[in-house]
Amino acid sequence: MVTPSEQIEHIYRQVERRNPGEAEFHQAVREVLECLGPVLAKYPEYADQKIIERICEPERQLIFRVPWQDDRGVVQIARGFRVGFNSALGPYKGGLRFHPSVYLGIIKFLGFEQIFKNALTGLPIGGAKGGSDFDPKGRSDSEIMRFCQSFMTTLCHYLGEYTDVPAGDIGVGAREIGYLFGQYKRITNRYESGVLTGKSPEWGGALVRREATGYGTVYFVEEMLKSRGDSIEGKRCTVSGSGNVAIYAIEKLQQLGAKVIACSDSNGIIHDPRGIDLTLLKQLKEVERRRISDYTAHRDASYVQGGVIWDIPCDVALPCATQNELDETSAKTLVRNGCVAVGEGANMPTTPGGVRTFIGAGIAYGPGKAANAGGVATSALEMQQNASRDAWTFEHTERRLHEIMKNIHQDCFETAKEFGSPGNYLIGANIVGFRRVAQAMLAFGII
């Protein structure tokens, strides 16, 4: 008789064989599958109906050419992607990433993660991801507008508020969402504001959406610490990145009484033992779009080009930059230096060796699909407002976000205990998300 573990290993080998060269996707799939042995033992119908195999295969994959013209008049060619992974719980929902590292494997890893992250919110949204290998860094507003218009000219045919609702991700903020929506409106002749989220509040966006991922990550860490009789107040924190997620994670940490002593960008790290000056950081990154190294021109802090932020001793670490940024060596350094909690504000920022280190050391570890679900949760709240032609206050929306993050923590905490792994949020998150999607798929039949 084949054991659940053997079934899962066979499924994983099939995924590797059918998706060659997509390392990030393989990593994301393995992380989920390794948690599902007890689930298959408890629910044999999942194996009978090939639920795992069906979840690992996207419902649709779109790859398309994006021609555009730069300010010199030179024609450029980028590649666009949109992978609709699973719509069992609702329309496809997931961001668009514009970055030169983007290829099909990255989009599939992100879309696969999105299935379970979206399920964890308890809101009716499926999982998807998209983007392009276009690099917006150093481009003028006019160049970005022309690229976004070309990108949406193809993508618009596959979107709709009941079909697929993209949002922003790395390289795609309110500016890009505006250009994308403008082109969608122009082509379709519909003011279908619910078709994109992350919009400006002046024309249909939700208040708190900009802050949501960073705020949500901190709320999740706060709940993990509370479950251990601890608090975030007074904790020394390091936050990788200095983009949208990192900035608003820093903001919420400071509001809750923590001291953030370091942040970073792709070039290096800032260490400010007195605490990061958030006003200065926002001015540099959100207004002037400058590098983090410029922080030292205004404040007595140290900058280390190419430095490793995790070498700085801290109580709480929030990786908020990109995938696989925190490896096993850095994880061991954090544990050795007394770190008590890690909350992932980015998607899969910790390598498998790093995850094993955190769980083995018994520290509070919040995986990204749970800890950074606040962004997509608030996107779903934005969809609700658009559908009802309503606009909520900042306070109301943040209160909803806080409730959702508390519920996600509670669901993960209780499920980990149910399956014999108390305190293991990785197992809890993967099983909660998988079970919700699996039940819907069973209800719909073999489609």
Active-site residue set: 129
Q: Who contacts 430 (Cβ-Cβ below 8 Å, separation ≥6)?
A: 31, 32, 35, 36, 116, 367, 369
Query: Could you give the count of Cα atoms lying within 13 Å of 117 in the half-sphere of its Cβ?
Result: 38
Cβ pair 334, 314 in contact under 8 A: yes
Cβ pair 445, 439 in contact under 8 A: no
Map residue 190 onto helix, strand or coil: coil
The answer to the question of whether 69 is labelled as a binding residue is no
Map residue 75 onto helix, strand or coil: strand
The answer to the question of whether 14 is labelled as a binding residue is no
Give the amino acid at 218: V
- The Cα 314–Cα 337 span in angstroms is 7
Cβ pair 236, 318 in contact under 8 A: no
The answer to the question of whether 185 is labelled as a binding residue is no
Closest CA to 241 of 249, 230, 229: 249
The answer to the question of whether 293 is labelled as a binding residue is no
Spatial strand order of the sheet with 60-69 comes to 60-69, 75-86, 126-132, 92-98, 164-168
What is the widest separation between alpha-carbon atoms in the chain? Answer: 67
**Angle in degrees, 0-180, between the axes of helices 104-120 and 23-33, rounded to the nearest 10:** 30
Bridge partners (DSSP) listed for residue 165? 93
- The Cα 376–Cα 159 span in angstroms is 17
Cβ pair 127, 116 in contact under 8 A: yes
Angle (nearest 5°) at CA 287 between 281 and 289? 80
Cβ pair 26, 14 in contact under 8 A: no
- Rg (alpha carbons) of the chain, rounded to whole number: 21
Query: What Cα–Cα distance (Å) separates residue 306 from each residue in 185, 227, 266, 274?
Result: 43, 36, 8, 22
> Which two three-digit tokens encode residue 317?
């670490």
The answer to the question of whether 50 is labelled as a binding residue is no
Cβ pair 98, 171 in contact under 8 A: yes
Query: Could you give the count of Cα atoms lying within 13 Å of 147 in the half-sphere of its Cβ?
Result: 28
Residue 446 has a CB neighbour count (10 Å cut-off) of 8
The answer to the question of whether 189 is labelled as a binding residue is no
The answer to the question of whether 417 is labelled as a binding residue is no
- The Cα 227–Cα 335 span in angstroms is 19
Binding site residue list? 93, 114, 117, 168, 213, 244, 379
Q: Please give the annotated binding residues for NAD(+), written as ranges.
A: 213, 244
> Binding-site residues for substrate, please?
93, 114, 117, 168, 379
